[in-house]
Structure 1
Amino acid sequence: MRRKEKRLLQFAGLLIAALLFLPNVGLWSLYRDRVFENSPEIVEGPGGIPQIQGVNVRPQKDAQVGRDGMRRKDWHDYEAIRRDAARSGNGEQGKPFPLTDTDRVDQAYRENGFNIYVSDRISLNRSVADIRHPNCKQKLYGEKLPNTSIIIPFHNEGWSSLLRTVHSVLNRSPPELIAEVILVDDFSDKEHLKGSLEEYMVRLPKVRILRTKKREGLIRTRLLGAAAANGEVITFLDSHCEANINWLPPLLDRIADNRKSIVCPMIDVIDHDNFGYETQAGDAMRGAFDWEMYYKRIPIPSELTKDDSSEPFESPVMAGGLFAVDRKWFWELGGYDTGLEIWGGEQYEISFKVWMCGGRMEDIPCSRVGHIYRKYVPYKVPGGVSLARLRNTGSGMCMESKHFSSGSPVRLETCLKGRGEAGWSHGQVFTFGWREDIRVGGPMHTKKVCFDAISHNSPVTLYDCHGLKGNQLWRYRKDKSLYHPISNSCIDSNPTERKVFMNTCDPSVPSQQWVFEKTNTTILETFNRNSN
């Protein structure tokens, strides 16, 4: 009997202790709730840092165990956020730089396709506005995440834009998640990207530089960096980006959950003129493409957002070169196709392989990275590209369109010389390819208007590209004429009136002979073969 009484007393003692001291029940719970109900209101201070009556508080970063048994924690670096929030000056908080007419000179864009003069006057460590969905500030991610190698390919990149990319990655990433930052130089010939860059990067932790032995192009340069990577995850960025607050953990968390996920941040826009940082039009939208393989962004179906637009969502294809992928999974997919020369198609290749091989393609709204969209592409790519100027052999003048809108005429104008391809008038650059049409603009900035002709003696105009051939079908013949099968006539020119029009084909007439300047001969041969 005494033994039973003793056990009852022990049980009662344990029950009283539980009621008093366990954190979520009993008297302690009542006391805690009452204290917190009457405590000063916690508000969000500058940079999203919680404050109690004006005093900055560093939130508890200890890991929490979720319902699924996973340990998660807050990866925000609140001290870095506080420092960024206190910064002021040119371009700080991602604000546009106040441009003058001097800042807008053409030379500012010549070498980089964006205003390098403005970039050089903005801090390499500049702050950007936290434009994430409010829910992102409360999210917790896995306590143990895979580390990553950041791969940044570049060719003749501007000094300040390249360094600002590296600084933003190092400043806004948890150090334990960065295995290394690999800069891959695709045979740059700018002096500042040689010894000076080597000396500068020695100061920065975990940064190393690889260099190609010849011009390889973007895709093979990325592959070189990926082959040298040691991290568990590979994260590709462009060389003119700025990582936003807490951008990396949301990406790595999804890969930790499913190693066959390729995940992309929201790509924000850094203005090529004033370097203002803002969201893309429509903000979070998923990638898609039309029948002509043009990338586009479309609204996310409501069933994917689950009433929370901060949640990751599936996307048919990714935007391009900003994404993270498990390193082993990347090579299981075969990496990139080494035959790809320039950007603009690699995202389809990777995306299709992911879906066909049982993977997932996701966009992550709580991860944001700013990107400069160039005014034009300022460099040549290996082997040339499918762009050309159409020079008339009779007059020595070039076809040009001053307006890239449907219905605008094509005219004959003096060929611009001596400034290189980047200095050509955009209206004198044309692209042709598998559609057997001819479009205004370089292959990476092609306008969706095509050469169009209605009938014999009609002017050559631009019209919205429809991809159905017809009036937009062209053949480039051995006699250097541009033949139009529908009207059974060729493009002719009148240099006196600067007109370009359709006329009865006559191989002996120089005004009907056109030479494609600065083009890829392989692509031209393919165009001719398909046409014939």
Structure 2
Amino acid sequence: MSSRKRPEESSCASRSPVVALAGRALARLLPLLLLPLLVAVFQPQGEDGKRDLKLVLLAAACGTVISAAVPRLHLSLIAVAFTSMIMLSVAHLQDLQNSELEQAVAGQSDLQSRLQLRLDEQRQPESEGALSNFFPRASSRRSAAEIVHALRYRPAPPKTDASAVQMETFSIVLPCAFEGEFAEKTVWAIWENTDHHRLKEIIVVDDGSNPPLRAIMSEKLLAGGPGVPPMKIVRHEKTMGLITAKKSGGDSALGDVIVFFDCHISPRKGWEEAFLKQMKRKGDHRTMVVPTITSLNPDTWQEIQGSAGGKVCYIRWNNDFTWLIYPGRDAPLMSGGLLALTRRWWEETGGYDDKMVAWGGENIDQSLRSWLCGGRIEVAEGAYVAHMWRDASNPKTLLKYPIPTADVM
């Protein structure tokens, strides 16, 4: 029999190496073709509907590297998938950042328009007050950066003629609720350690005490007259809260300077002159002052010698405040319990917010209000006030100011 193969078998045998070679070549070229195709299809489009050609060319270059470096088809496909995910992720992230940047630019433009409108409204002179010169006058052609800089670094309000600022007499406000004998001890301590001709009045705000403070105070103190503190009582029939009590006392004050003290303190002699000296330093009525606060012995009602003194506070990230060891003059935040300001500044800044009906926070509000309205808060050097702190070992010191009743809240 003949050993020669059939023609069709010979043709198939000759084509099989060619087909195999073509398949291997196609497998090597697949990453070069597939990677740019995936990137072109799935990359984010621009606002004009066009795609980023540079990213497609980068994908083609990466596909070439994969084709040359990874001979096996399944490995090259994995490399293509991994590379495409990275490139598309970066592209979408960049698109998101561009979108946020456009929104920020649009917001800045809107802010510029609104700030410019506010500045234009301030171009006419206004009467002197707490918010005078809060926005500086400006031309209608200012950049956003200039406007923001002007708002942040506005010039200080014009100085008031020192001779026109009356700071001679004091109204001392004592917010008291269920303080008992502490209220009278505080009144007498203030009287004994204060120059009498400076003392216009001591306003005791009885914030719903039961029994009323008037019922437990001595007849001598209630009767008044020579040698007796000039005390008057403002009575709330129900507890309105510490802040409302302080506001009631501040609104009824008649002295040039309003002093807020807690109802369990004793000042050191000379405190009032140290207050006035500091308040008159700038020659206007916008300086609030705080003393150095030491510790009070609740049994003897005398200052504890050598006790550490706190002066000012600062705001923490959790919106609470704590004491700041700060030797300087300016106080970023006052403690709230012991301070003084002129009655004029009290009226111009609006006093305390009557919507704050619980306890605490008024010191933050008032500090920010004063600084932002052109005022300042300073430590009165030489002014010391002893304060009764809560002591777990002494039950008489643990009374907290009560929270208002539900109908007040």
Instruction: Report the TM-score range of the alignment, normalised by the length of the smaller protein.
Output: 0.5 to 0.7
Look up the match of 2:285.
259
Larger radius of gyration: 2
Summarize the Cα distance change of 1:191–1:230 in structure 2 as closer, same or farther, 3 Å threshold: closer
Look up the match of 1:200.
221
User: Aligned partners of 1:231, 1:267: CA distance in 2, in Å?
Assistant: 23
Calculate the aligned-residue CA RMSD, in Å: 2.7
User: Aligned partners of 1:150, 1:266: CA distance in 2, in Å?
Assistant: 17
User: Aligned partners of 1:175, 1:248: CA distance in 2, in Å?
Assistant: 10
Once the two structures are TM-superposed, the CA of residue 166 in structure 1 deviates from its matched residue by: 0.9
User: Aligned partners of 1:227, 1:357: CA distance in 2, in Å?
Assistant: 20
User: Aligned partners of 2:213, 2:352: CA distance in 1, in Å?
Assistant: 30
Q: Residue 153 in 1 paired to residue 179 in 2? A: no
Look up the match of 1:236.
260
In 1, are the aligned partners of 2:214 and 2:222 still within 8 Å (CA)? no
Look up the match of 2:126.
none
Summarize the Cα distance change of 1:198–1:216 in structure 2 as closer, same or farther, 3 Å threshold: farther
Look up the match of 1:365.
381
Q: Residue 245 in 1 paired to residue 269 in 2? A: yes
Between Structure 1 and Structure 2, the one with more helix by share is: 2
In 2, are the aligned partners of 1:255 and 1:262 still within 8 Å (CA)? yes
Once the two structures are TM-superposed, the CA of residue 344 in structure 1 deviates from its matched residue by: 2.4
In 1, are the aligned partners of 2:294 and 2:308 still within 8 Å (CA)? no
Within 5 Å, give how 1:69-468 maps onto structure 2: 145-159=167-181, 161-190=182-211, 193-194=214-215, 196-197=217-218, 200-203=221-224, 204-257=228-281, 258-271=284-297, 277-278=303-304, 283=309, 285-300=311-326, 304=328, 313-375=329-391, 376-378=398-400, 380-383=402-405
CA deviations on 1:438-477 (whole Å, 9 max, x unpaired) are xxxxxxxxxxxxxxxxxxxxxxxxxxxxxxxxxxxxxxxx
User: Aligned partners of 1:178, 1:283: CA distance in 2, in Å?
Assistant: 25
CA deviations on 1:202-237 (whole Å, 9 max, x unpaired) are 232421111113221111111111111110110011
User: Structure 1, unaligned stretches of length 5 or more?
Assistant: 1-141, 305-312, 385-519, 523-532
User: Aligned partners of 1:259, 1:361: CA distance in 2, in Å?
Assistant: 12
Paired residue secondary structure (2:238): coil
Partner AA of 1:341 in structure 2:
V
Number of equivalenced pairs: 233
Summarize the Cα distance change of 1:286–1:214 in structure 2 as closer, same or farther, 3 Å threshold: closer
Between Structure 1 and Structure 2, the one with more strand by share is: 1
User: Aligned partners of 2:314, 2:213: CA distance in 1, in Å?
Assistant: 38
Summarize the Cα distance change of 1:167–1:196 in structure 2 as closer, same or farther, 3 Å threshold: closer
CA deviations on 1:388-425 (whole Å, 9 max, x unpaired) are xxxxxxxxxxxxxxxxxxxxxxxxxxxxxxxxxxxxxx
Partner AA of 2:332 in structure 1:
P
CA deviations on 1:347-393 (whole Å, 9 max, x unpaired) are 10000001100111111230011111134344531136xxxxxxxxx
User: Aligned partners of 1:153, 1:200: CA distance in 2, in Å?
Assistant: 17
Summarize the Cα distance change of 1:153–1:285 in structure 2 as closer, same or farther, 3 Å threshold: closer
Once the two structures are TM-superposed, the CA of residue 271 in structure 1 deviates from its matched residue by: 4.5
Summarize the Cα distance change of 1:273–1:343 in structure 2 as closer, same or farther, 3 Å threshold: farther
Partner AA of 1:184 in structure 2:
V
In 2, are the aligned partners of 1:286 and 1:300 still within 8 Å (CA)? yes
Within 5 Å, give how 1:452-531 maps onto structure 2: none
Partner AA of 1:178 in structure 2:
L
Partner AA of 2:335 in structure 1:
A
User: Aligned partners of 1:218, 1:289: CA distance in 2, in Å?
Assistant: 20
In 2, are the aligned partners of 1:226 and 1:234 still within 8 Å (CA)? yes
In 1, are the aligned partners of 2:239 and 2:402 still within 8 Å (CA)? no
In 1, are the aligned partners of 2:243 and 2:360 still within 8 Å (CA)? no
Summarize the Cα distance change of 1:318–1:192 in structure 2 as closer, same or farther, 3 Å threshold: closer
In 2, are the aligned partners of 1:146 and 1:256 still within 8 Å (CA)? no
User: Aligned partners of 1:197, 1:275: CA distance in 2, in Å?
Assistant: 17
Paired residue secondary structure (2:285): coil
Once the two structures are TM-superposed, the CA of residue 157 in structure 1 deviates from its matched residue by: 0.9
User: Structure 2, unaligned stretches of length 5 or more?
Assistant: 1-162, 392-397
CA deviations on 1:11-31 (whole Å, 9 max, x unpaired) are xxxxxxxxxxxxxxxxxxxxx
User: Aligned partners of 2:331, 2:216: CA distance in 1, in Å?
Assistant: 42
Partner AA of 2:389 in structure 1:
Y
Look up the match of 1:84.
none
In 1, are the aligned partners of 2:293 and 2:384 still within 8 Å (CA)? yes
Once the two structures are TM-superposed, the CA of residue 185 in structure 1 deviates from its matched residue by: 0.7
What's the % identity of the aligned pairs? Answer: 28
Look up the match of 2:26.
none
User: Aligned partners of 1:165, 1:331: CA distance in 2, in Å?
Assistant: 26
In 2, are the aligned partners of 1:267 and 1:280 still within 8 Å (CA)? no
Summarize the Cα distance change of 1:145–1:275 in structure 2 as closer, same or farther, 3 Å threshold: closer
In 1, are the aligned partners of 2:274 and 2:382 still within 8 Å (CA)? yes
User: Aligned partners of 1:220, 1:241: CA distance in 2, in Å?
Assistant: 20
Partner AA of 2:185 in structure 1:
R
Once the two structures are TM-superposed, the CA of residue 192 in structure 1 deviates from its matched residue by: 5.8
Scaled by the length of structure 1, the TM-score of the pair is: 0.41
Partner AA of 1:350 in structure 2:
Q
User: Aligned partners of 1:344, 1:280: CA distance in 2, in Å?
Assistant: 28
Once the two structures are TM-superposed, the CA of residue 286 in structure 1 deviates from its matched residue by: 3.4
Partner AA of 1:296 in structure 2:
T
Once the two structures are TM-superposed, the CA of residue 274 in structure 1 deviates from its matched residue by: 7.7
In 2, are the aligned partners of 1:147 and 1:176 still within 8 Å (CA)? yes
User: Aligned partners of 2:206, 2:338: CA distance in 1, in Å?
Assistant: 17
